[in-house]
Structure 1
Amino acid sequence: MANNKLLVDERQADLGQFMVGRLLPFRKKRQVGPFTFIDHMGPAQLGNGQYVDVDQHPHIGLSTLTYLFEGEIEHRDSTGSQQIIHPGDVGFMTAGKGVSHTERTPAFRRDGQTFAMHGYQIWVALPRELEEMEPRFDYIPASDIPAWTEGSLSIKLVAGNAFGRSAPLQGYSPLFIVDIYAQEATTLNLKDQIHGEVAFVIVKGAITDDGETVQAGQMLISKTNEECEIVLAADTQLLLFGGEPLPEERRLLWNFVSHSKERLQQAKQDWIDRKFPNVEDDDTYIPFPGG
C-alpha cells in the first residue's frame, strides 16, 4: 500500500443484540472531511426475539446519518420526529445543542420471522458556529436520491455534491457520500468528480489500488485529496465519502462531539443530571458509561 494511503479494518462492537464494525475514528486518522464516526451494522439475520433496540441516549454537536441496504430502523427523537427508515432512505438527525433519540426495529418486523439487517450509521461534525443550533430531523426517501449509471457502474448520491450533481441532503459543510456498485470489473476515475478528503468503505467485493487489494470490511483513506483512480472488482459495492475538513479539531466523548473539551464535560453532566430533552412516551435511559 502506498504511503499516502491508510487502511482500516473494522473493529467489532456490540449494538443491541448484534455486532457492528467500527471504522472511524481510529488512532492515525480521527476524521475524514467532516466525518467523525462510522459504524457498519450487520449484515446480520434478526428476528425470533433478536432485534435492534437502542434505548434513549443523547448527542450534541453533530448530525447522525442512517443509510440502510436491508432491514428497517424506527427513529424517534426529542424533537417529536418519528420515522421508519427503509433501505435506500436517508435519516439525518442534527443534534446541535442537544437531542435524545432511540433506534429500534419497527413493530411490523417483530412477528417472529427472520429478516436481514445491513447498513451504516455515520456521524458528521457540525461547523463550530452551528454546534449549538436547534435540533432537527430530516428524512429523504430513496425515491428522491439521485441515481444513475455510468458504464457498468450504478451510482447513488446519498448526500452532498459529487460527479457534477447535488443531493437533496447537503449537510452543513462541503461533503459527499456516494453509493457505488460495479456489476463488472471497472476503473473508477475520480479526477474532478469530488472535492476534499476521500475514503472508500468496501461494503462487498474488493477494490485494487497500486496493486494492493482492499476487501469488504475494510476502509481505504487517501491522505492526498481527490485520489484519481481505483479499480473495482466485479460485484463490488462501496461507499465513497469525505469532503472539506473542518478548521478545528473535533473531540469525541461517548455520543458527544465538540471542538471544546469543556462543552463535552458539560454534556456529560447534563445527561447524568437528566437535563436533556426526552423522547415522548419513552422512559428508557442509557447511563453515561462508568458515570
Structure 2
Amino acid sequence: MTLPVQDNAQDIQPDKLQPGLYIVATPIGNLSDLSLRAADILKRADLIAVEDSRVTAKLLQHMGIKRPMIAYHDHNADYLRPQLLPRLNHEAIALVSDAGTPLISDPGFKLVRDARQAGAYVTTIPGACAAVAALTLSGLPSDRFLFVGFLPPKENARKKALTEIAAISATLIFYETSPRLVSVLTSLQEILGNREAAVVREITKKFEECQTAPLSELITHYEQKPPKGELVILVSPADKKAEIGQDEVISLLQAALVDHPVGKAAALVAKQTGLSRQDLYDQAMHLRQQSSADE
C-alpha cells in the first residue's frame, strides 16, 4: 500500500492559504494567548470548523476576524465529515475546538485521519493544551504522564477504568466537571490509594488555582468549597516501594470483581500491587462468597 505524501512546498498566492486542513490551537482562557500564526490562519481560512460557534465567535471578535464557520462536534461529525473532505481539495479549512488543542477529547482525530488518507494537505498550528498546562502548574512528576481524559460518569465503570491504569508508573491526567469532582476524587483514592494529587482550574484566567495535596485532603477541601467550571485532575505515579494497606487491597479486589471472575480479578490486582496472586485469589474468593451470602 502506498501512503499519500504531503507536499508542503506548493506554490500558492501570498494572500491565499494552500487548500487543506489546518489544526489550530486556541486559548484555554486568556484570549491573548492565541499565537500570531494561529490568528493569521484563522483570518485567511475559507472556512472554520468549530465545536461551538458561540464560543469561537467571541475569539474571532476579540481578534477582529470575520470568517464563515460551520459546527463540527460529536453529534454531527459522522454526517458532516464526508461533506468536508472533498472541500479540502480547493478550500483551506481551519479546525478549532472551544479551547485548547483540537483532537484532545473531541472528534477531530477522525477528520484528520480521513483527510490524510484522502491525500489532503494537513498541518497543525500548535498552542495551548489544558492537560500540559496543568501538568506544569502541579509540580507533579512530568517525565512520564498519561492523559486519560474524562472518566465514565457511572461509579462502577469509573472504578473499572481506574483499575486498568492503576499500575502505570506515570502521572495521570484527567478532565472533569466541578459537580462530579468530589465523587471522582473519592474513586481515585479508593482505587489508586491516597496519592499526591492536584486539582487545577481557571488556567490562564484571573482566578487561576492549583490545589496540591493527598487525595484525602483534596476531597475534604472541595466538600467544603465546591468549585465551578471544568478542571484538570492530576495524580502522581504509584509508589512501588510504598506498603499497600489491606483496605486498599480490598478496594482494588472489589473493583476488579465487578466485571471479572475471581481468577482474573486476582491477576489484575497482583499486577498492580506486586502481591501474591494466590493470596489475592483467596481474598477475592472470600469477597465473592461474602457478596453471594449477603444477597
Same-fold call, TM cutoff 0.5? no
Q: Comparing both chains, which one has the higher relative contact order based on Cα–Cα distances under 8 Å and sequence gaps of 6 or more?
A: 1
Q: Which has the higher Rg, Structure 1 or Structure 2?
A: 2
Is the helix fraction higher in 1 or 2?
Answer: 2
Give TM-score scaled by structure 1 length.
Answer: 0.30
Is the strand fraction higher in 1 or 2?
Answer: 1
Give TM-score scaled by structure 2 length.
Answer: 0.30
